[in-house]
Amino acid sequence: MINILLNILKKEFTLVLKDIHALLVLFIMPMAFILVMSLALPDTEAENDKDKPKIGLIFKQEKDSQLSASDELTKLPGFHTQKFTNKNNVREKIINDQLIAMIVVPENFIQLLQKNETIENNMEVFYSPSTPSQLRFLLMASIRQVVALWQLEKKLNEKASNSFMQQGLKDKFLGVSLVSEHEVSVAEEKVEAKQPSSVQQSVPAWLIFSMFFVVIPLSTTFIVEKQHGTLQRLKTLPIADGYFLFGKIIPYIMINLIQTILMFLVGIYLVPAAGGQALQLSDNAWLLIPMSMSISLLAISLAMLIAVRVNTTDQATTIGGVTNLLLAAVGGVMVPTYVMPEAMKNISGYSPMNWGLEGFLTVLLREGSFADIMPEMMKLLSLSAICLFFAVTSYKHLLRD
């Protein structure tokens, strides 16, 4: 029995592998979309970063800027820091109000500080005359914290035996565990949903879009089987209908899973390599599999329904393609729902692609649990069952007539 199923799976895979157009649509198209859209979509975090007060940072010795400790200065909280090499350029930008201040790090400053040696030249901060005093105070506080951190690290390196102990002592000295941050929540007030970054939006969105394109290889194979009498021939073989049904479903679930893995890898490795933000997965990443399978079942059922109901591959490609484009346009794939007006957001909730996208974002963005993605999964599986029922009924009708 397993051999028969494996034989059917092998045939389906061979046919898909020989279909260059299907491979392009299933794998290359979403990869390209993810790359382009991850880089093209404005990142919320990056946008916020641009709104921060800008300061220029100059290391008098290039070697200092390469020390890992210098990262603390380049990531000063509350400020957008840009590195410069020419002091005059920075001065010009300050005069033109493009920067609010300039930090000049003297030669060997960090190294001397870490070695506890005498420092002859201080770190200097130059302000624009228009920089408000609150900002000057905030900047100085941030810089002092960084300098304190460097000194602390020096002491810890001498005293603590391992990095775990060092971190613990660092937290204790800096009072990390003594202060915790909270937001005031107002029960009656609707809390605005967290927005995905461009890569968090692009990877699941274009993955779902491409998953629905199984309609092309599936319908092409099915219509060829129908037109060539292969379907009739298969039906005269002494094997149960279930083999053919699973023979269609299983290979495309596997193809959809391969797409899922590949697209997430693109988000994790390829997008950052191209200059974008890397996709981060947390401990609940395994939930992407049941979510992906639910989307896959709906995509396959819908593809089967289209394949059974139409007569030519042209019809299948047109109907399948247009259906996918509409579902994607409405469902927040092409235009993220968070930029849609309220009315469109409501409509988008009717698109199965939106159910899938929301499920993925629940996992990626909101660190949701299995219970959190259940509503989306149930919607996808219910519609899948309806499509499959009509596909099987139409298929039986087709063979009889």
Partner 1 sequence: MISVRNLHFAYSDNRVIFNDFNLEIKVGSLFGLIGPNGAGKSTLISLVTGLNSAQAGSIQINGKDLSLARNELLSNLSSVPQEYAFYPKLTVMQNLNFFCRLYKSINQPEQNIEDAIELTGLADYQNRAAGKLSGGLKRRLNLAIGLLNKPTLLILDEPTVGIDPQSRHFILSAIKQLNNDGTTILYTSHYMEEIERLCDTIAVIDHGKIMMSGELGNLLSNASSFQIQTQRPVAMNEIDACSFSDRININKTKLEGELDNAMQLNELIAQLQQFGHRIEEVEYGKKSLESMYFDLTERAVRE
Residue numbers of the site for partner 1 (CB under 8 A)? 1, 3-4, 7-8, 10-11, 14-15, 18-19, 224-225, 227-230, 232-239, 397, 399-401
**Which one, of 321, 382, 330, lies nearest residue 351 by Cα?**
330
Give the nearer residue to partner 1 in terms of CB position, either 232 or 382: 232
**Is residue 353 within 8 Å of 327, Cβ to Cβ?**
yes
**Minimum distance from residue 244 beta carbon to partner 1 (Å):** 10
* Distance of closest approach, residue 391 Cβ to partner 1, in angstroms: 18
Q: Which is nearer to partner 1, 5 or 147 (CB)?
A: 5
Q: How many CA atoms lie within 13 A of 56 on its CB side?
A: 25
Minimum CB separation of residue 19 from partner 1 in Å reads: 7
What token pair was written down for 255? 């193809």
Q: Considering the complex, state which of residue 25 and residue 295 has its C-beta at the smaller distance from partner 1.
A: 25
How far apart CA 28 and CA 35 sit, in angstroms, is: 11
Q: Which is nearer to partner 1, 150 or 390 (CB)?
A: 390
Burial pattern 268-283, b for ≥16 Cβ within 10 A else e, equals: bebbeeeebbebeeee
**Secondary structure in 3-state letters for 173-197:** HHCHHHCCCCCCCCCCCCCCCCCCC
- Rank residues 239 and 344 by Cβ distance to partner 1 and give the closer one: 239
Between CA 54 and CA 168 the distance in angstroms is: 32
SS3 call for 174: helix
Q: How far is the CB of 67 from partner 1 (least distance, A)?
A: 60
Least distance between partner 1 and beta carbon 336 (Å): 39
6 or 285: whose CB is closer to partner 1? 6
The least distance separating partner 1 from the CB of residue 9, rounded to whole angstroms, comes to 11
* In the complex, minimum distance from the CB of residue 197 to partner 1, in angstroms, rounded to a whole number: 42
Q: Rounded CA gap, 33 and 202, in Å? A: 8
Please state, in angstroms and rounded to a whole number, the distance separating the CA atoms of residues 263 and 156: 43
List all residues 6 or more positions away from 116 whose beta carbon is below 8 Å from its beta carbon: 154
Between 172 and 228, CB nearer to partner 1: 228
- For 103, the 3-state DSSP assignment is strand
